[in-house]
Each structure stands twice: as structure tokens, then as C-alpha cells.
A and B are shown apart, each in its own frame.
Chain A
Amino acid sequence: KAGVTQTPRYLIKTRGQQVTLSCSPISGHRSVSWYQQTPGQGLQFLFEYFSETQRNKGNFPGRFSGRQFSNSRSEMNVSTLELGDSALYLCASSSHASGGITDTQYFGPGTRLTVL
């Protein structure tokens, strides 16, 4: 099976712009989670989608949003970019075979976002 893919791999934006990142999960996986990784904060949970519904959300401002499509692909959007949004954004998919809590999450390679 192909792994989790994320596009684009690198992005450079300026403050105030918005950005959309894409994540394609492993075939058959219905849950997609998003994480932000910064040097100071480590990996922080953004949100999780299952069957096109957001089931869980981390402590991030409303500028961070996401959605999931019927084929389980997911996008996350960040509006009005700030310098502090520069980070590696990772998505992870899981099969939900264990009900969504103990499932192994399989990570993509991430999108490196730089905000100038």
C-alpha cells in the first residue's frame, strides 16, 4: 500500500496570506489527524477528521481549519498567516479498526511552511 502523502512538501508565504495543505491517507483509512511541529513546542495536535466530520480539535486559533472529503483526503487551511505559523505540518491516517483511540497513526512526510 502507498503511504500517506502530503502536498506540497515546501511552501513559502508572506504574512497575511492564506495557505491550503493537502493530505492523502493510506487507502482504506478513514481517520486523518493533523499536527504542527515547531522547535519549541514539539508535535502539537491540530484536529482530527473521520468520515468527513471533525471529531476532535486542539488548542489552536480559528485561523486553522480543515475538512475531509468523501474519499478521506483531507485539507487544512491557515488564514491570515503569522510569522509564528512557520512550522512543519504533518498529517497522519489510521484505520479506526480499534475505535479510534488506540489505532496506530501513520504519518506523512510533512509540509514545511515558511512565513516571511
Chain B
Amino acid sequence: ILNVEQSPQSLHVQEGDSTNFTCSFPSSNFYALHWYRWETAKSPEALFVMTLNGDEKKKGRISATLNTKEGYSYLYIKGSQPEDSATYLCAFTPAGGTSYGKLTFGQGTILTVHP
């Protein structure tokens, strides 16, 4: 059983604060790590796909890093805005043919940004 853990479960910040969350995954047999943002009543939106140890990805005020040797990824949001309020999900893909089309998701971090 693959365990993908995210922390914290929820987070309340003020507008303008910078914040970060953690995704932990099995370090053995790693293939890819995905980050999604899921706003209420919308479809999950892909943020990043990361495959290499040390990878850093950036999209606007959001960035992510990857450490495959120790099995964790960080998502950072700089200068949070109310529109950043959403659930942030990470999903792990192990190597191997049984991984086709299968993402194993963490429970998510619910971010609320207060004006």
C-alpha cells in the first residue's frame, strides 16, 4: 500500500502571508510527483509534474521542490491571495507498468486565505 501524506491538513493565513505545505511519499520506486489545486465546485487543476531529484518548478507565485531520496516535496505560495484558497493535493506515481493512468493522492491541505 502506498502512503502519500500531506501536512498540515488545513491552514489559515492572512492575505500577503507566504506559506508552504509538505507532501511525503515512498522514496523507493519513485517515478513522478504531481501537484494539483482544487477549488470548491471546480475541477482539480494541474500545477506541476516533477520527476527528478532536486527539481524546482514555478508558476507565478507558486513553486515546488522535490527530494526523491528522502521522499518529500514542498509547495510554496508567496504573498497568498484570497483566490489561492483551495485544497492542494499531491499525487505519487511509482515506477512500473501498473502505474498507467494511476495517481495515488494524499488527503490534501486545505488553504484558506483571509483578506
Residues of A within 8 A of B (CB): 3-4, 31-33, 35, 42-45, 48-50, 55-56, 58, 90, 94, 100-110
Contacts and interface: CB of A to CB of B under 8 A. Distances in A.
Contact of B89 (A3, A43, A101, A106): A43
B74 interface: no
Given A42-B106, A104-B34, A4 B43 contact: yes
Contacts of B102: 33, 45, 48, 56, 58
Interface size class of B (residues with CB under 8 A): 20 to 34
A90 B46 CA distance: 14
A35 B34 CA distance: 15
A104 B46 contact: yes
Contacts of B115: none
21 contacts: A3-B43, A4-B43, A31-B101, A33-B102, A35-B103, A42-B105, A42-B108, A43-B103, A45-B102, A45-B103, A50-B100, A56-B98, A56-B99, A56-B101, A90-B43, A102-B31, A102-B49, A102-B93, A104-B49, A105-B46, A108-B43
A58 to B, nearest CB: 7
Given A3-B43, A107-B44, A108-B43, A101 B93 contact: yes
A41 to B, nearest CB: 9
Contacts of A33: 101-103
A35 B108 CA distance: 15
B44 A48 contact: no
A32 B42 CA distance: 19
Interface string B13-50: 00000000000000000011010100000111110010
